[in-house]
Amino acid sequence: MASVEDVKVGSVIRLKHISKIYRLGNLTVPALEDVSLEVSEGEFIVVLGPSGSGKTTLLNIIGALDLPTGGSLVVNGLTLTGDTRPDRFRYRREAVSFVFQTFNLFPGLTALENVQFALDVVNRNSKPSPVSAQEVLQMVGLGERLHNFPHQLSGGEQQRVAIARALATGNPVLLADEPTGELDFKTGVQILHLLHQQTHAGKTVLIVTHNREIARVADRVIELSSGRIISDSPPTRKAEIAELSW
């Protein structure tokens, strides 16, 4: 029988017939309808779709931040839907790292402290992080902004802190919601390169974006429309990151 420890090095994430309905008073708003999807270790996946297509909802369910109305999330045989709160908590802490579109930085902590906090939460006494908080902030070009608070940083700089925080934990699955949305083109390409590099170490990266240009470097491109997957395939012509422009 699968145990929660299996999610740490999970090679397969399976969504089976997922639906998600939000209730707003007397209204019901379907966000996802009968979505089935399998994600393998080391894949670089881009999820495309217009606003309201269900992209962020899908990401939140894969990351066990939200529960589906119907269907199941299974990681290496371990079901993470239903009454599985302890398993979902450990999965989020030890298997998944997030880059949120709204950054979700702690306003009272500096950039360095925000990243260090994430490292402290994952509790890696027996498995040290491959990089320090300072090193990973330098990787995203914020070596001179370590001691600045979020309100002292631009939107793009806050986004890079959020990305640094996700990279620092070393978790095997990285989920990113519009990770280049607040960045200029040059910085966006640098960050995309950093995210893509994670797959060389066997990590799985799943990016939600409206930017079709980013999809050109993916292993798979999943398109959503009105809460349904309408396409799941490699890009028509795979490109190198250096070829991108937007």
Query: How do residues 54-64 score in pLDDT, each as one tens digit?
Result: 999 999 999 99
pLDDT value for 73: 92
Instruction: Retrieve residue 135's tokens.
Output: 């090193």
Q: Which residues contact 95 (CB under 8 A, 6 or more apart)?
A: 7, 8, 10, 75, 171, 172, 173
**Which residue is associated with the tokens 């999807």?**
37
Residue (of 59, 66, 125) closest to 98 by Cα position: 59
Three-state SS at 16: strand
pLDDT value for 146: 98
Is-contact 227 31, C-beta < 8 A?
yes
Is-contact 205 176, C-beta < 8 A?
yes
| pLDDT one-digit tens code per residue, 84-141 | 788 888 888 888 999 998 999 999 999 999 999 998 887 655 556 667 999 999 999 9
**Which residue is associated with the tokens 């320090």?**
132
pTM over 0.95: no
The proportion of the chain whose per-residue pLDDT surpasses 90, expressed as a percent, equals 68
Instruction: Report the helix count and the strand count for the chain, using DSSP H and E.
Output: 6, 10
Q: Which residues contact 78 (CB under 8 A, 6 or more apart)?
A: 2, 3, 4, 6, 7, 87
Q: What is the DSSP letter of 70?
A: E
Q: Which residues contact 149 (CB under 8 A, 6 or more apart)?
A: 107, 108, 109, 110, 111
Please, what is the average pLDDT of the chain? Answer: 89
Q: pLDDT class for 9, splitting at 50, 70, 90?
A: very low
| pLDDT one-digit tens code per residue, 131-182 | 799 999 999 999 999 999 999 999 999 999 999 999 998 888 999 999 998 8
pLDDT value for 10: 46
